[in-house]
Structure 1
Amino acid sequence: MYASRVKGRQMLLENPARDSRAKKELEEKRAKQRVHKEKKIAKVMGKREAKERGIWHFDKSQAKFELFVPLHRLWMGYMSELLGLQQPPASGHPSAQAMPSSSSMHPKLVKADFHGSIITVCQSKNSCLLGLSGIVIHETENAFKVVTMKDAVKLIPKENSIFSFVVPLYSTLPPSHKQNEPLPIPDLEGTKKTVLQVPHIEFELHGNQFRFRSAERSGRKFKHKESIEL
């Protein structure tokens, strides 16, 4: 018995030492303090501080669609730079050569910032939301807050909803704009055109697969998934 089962083998005669609960709690507390210190150095505002200062408090009397068109125009410029869109042709007629590759656009779009975009509810289990459209003024983990063309603020849940959004086919930036330069501020008295009034490309967005904050999406690796039927 000794020769077959015990000889030449290591045996533990007592349970290995474990960290005490107090030690684990102390390590977790120190880790939180380090994160808080790093955020303070980087001047990052936390959720509690933002709530106390009323950062996300929105006066509904200022919910005017026209007031947010400049934000939307800024988003169009951001998309033009992010996707590397071409300048519009001199003839003014769209061409097939201007269509960017979808395989190169999708990885960028899932990590993009949607504040300022125009989204529309295509499918939803809540029939009252169908067709609802507006400019995104705030995105959270589970919802989009939009200002509609009827000057109303609506909170649209991402869960069990499919959205459509469009990006411009051609760059809306001036030809003199260079990569990594600050985006030009839209002229408040200039054009009021939205992306829906220019040549554009339409995409679908499945809310169930998009339930992340915009800051989290930028560093997240997305995997291909089959579409989920509602």
Structure 2
Amino acid sequence: MASEPNEHIAESLLKRAHSPETASTIFREKVKQRPLLLRPTSPDPNLNARSKRQYERLQKAKKQCKSNKPKPLSAKQKRALSVHEIPKEQQKYAIYEPLHRMWCGYMREILGLSEGKRNHVDANSVGPVLVSADYHGALVEVVRSRCSSRVGGKGIVVKDTKFTFEIVTVKDELKIMPKEHAVFRFEVPFERKEEGSEVPKPLVFEIHGGQFEARAPDRANRNFRQHFDPDL
């Protein structure tokens, strides 16, 4: 004698809360006859020639899209390729002398000295200008530093990083000067107006490297504050 089929657990649970007729109706409509929604699958390219051609075109387009968008180099790859390093044959002082002359004209322009409007400046007015200025091409000299061996180092700035000035000296040497706990001096000469006319003495500035510990584009939004650095 065949045993009676076991009652579905969902139906038995429904009978606890509803009458047998209501429980059977709910079980039939919500469980047994509930439609099963399936996501349509892509046709098998091995069974259909047209689908196979479409699949191959799609894969080819994906590969071409990836090949047209090269990935940027990582920091490790940049160091291995020496992307940001100056080659030895370009570490010549004479190469950067025209850059220094251009920089002097740039500084005269942003300080308002190029048109002869004034021949002197003060810290309150030019402080924010100096902080946000670009120092690539500046002829700087270390006048104070915690490290005595760095004092007297002088050269043209060829790279202004967040924490250092990289300079090329007259002896065609590339030196890295940390900004922290150091004071740099540079001069901005006046432009000669006429032949034989007397040229005023150049303006001499001293900047604290600790206030310049940021990339050149990021310094434009920083506030200039006058303070005495007790570490120097």
- Common fold, TM-score beyond 0.5? yes
Are 2:220 and 1:218 equivalent residues in the alignment?
A: yes
Shift of 1:220: 1.6
Identify which of 85, 92, 103 aligns with 2:113: 85
CA distance, structure 1, for counterparts of residue 208 and residue 74 of structure 2 = 26
Which residue pairs with 1:152 in the alignment? 173
Q: Structure 2: how far apart are the matches of 1:73 and 1:47?
A: 35
1:50, distance to aligned residue in structure 2 (A): 6.0
Between the aligned partners of 1:47 and 1:145, the Cα distance in structure 2 is 23
TM-score scaled to structure 2, two decimals? Answer: 0.59
C-alpha change, 1:198 and 1:155, in structure 2 (3 Å) is: farther
**Structure 2 vs 1, CA of residues 83 and 171 (structure 1 numbering), >3 Å: closer, same or farther?**
farther
Q: List per-residue Cα deviations over 1:106-143 (Å, max 9, x = no partner).
A: 22011101110011011112221110100000011111
Q: Larger relative CO (CA 8 A, sep 6+): 1 or 2?
A: 1
Q: For 1:42-191, what aligned pairs fall within 5 Å after superposition? A: 48=75, 54-87=82-115, 98-168=119-189, 170-171=190-191
* Mapped partners of 1:215, 1:50: distance in 2: 21
Q: Return the offset for 1:100.
A: 3.2
* Match of residue 27 from structure 2: none
More helix by share: 2
- Would you say the 8 A contact 2:181–2:231 is kept in 1? no
What's the secondary structure of 2:184's corresponding residue?
strand
For 1:202, the equivalent position in structure 2 comes to 204
Across the two proteins, how many residue pairs are aligned to each other?
156
Please say if residues 86 and 98 of structure 1, whose CA atoms lie closer than 8 Å, have aligned partners that are also in contact: no
Give yes or no for contact 1:118–1:136 (8 Å, CA) kept in 2: yes
What TM-score results when the alignment is normalised by the length of structure 1?
Answer: 0.59
Deviations 1:56-86 (A, max 9, x none): 1211222111110011111111112111114
Unmatched 5+ stretches in structure 1: 1-44, 89-96, 176-196
* CA deviation vs aligned residue, 1:9-35 (integer Å, no higher than 9, x gap): xxxxxxxxxxxxxxxxxxxxxxxxxxx
TM-aligned CA deviation for residue 165 of structure 1: 1.3
CA distance in 1, matches of 2:161, 2:74: 12
**Helix, strand or coil: the match of 2:213?**
coil
1:146·1:155 contact (CA, 8 Å) conserved in 2?
Answer: yes
How large is the RMSD of aligned CA atoms in angstroms?
Answer: 3.0
CA contact (8 A) 1:64 1:151 kept: yes
Structure 1: which 4+ aligned runs deviate by more than 4 Å? 49-54
Percent identity (aligned): 35
Q: Distance in 2 between matches of 1:126 and 1:102?
A: 27
Contact 1:85 1:100 in 2 (8 A): no
Structure 2 distance, partners of 1:58, 1:127, is 26
Cα 1:220/1:102, change in 2 over 3 Å:
closer
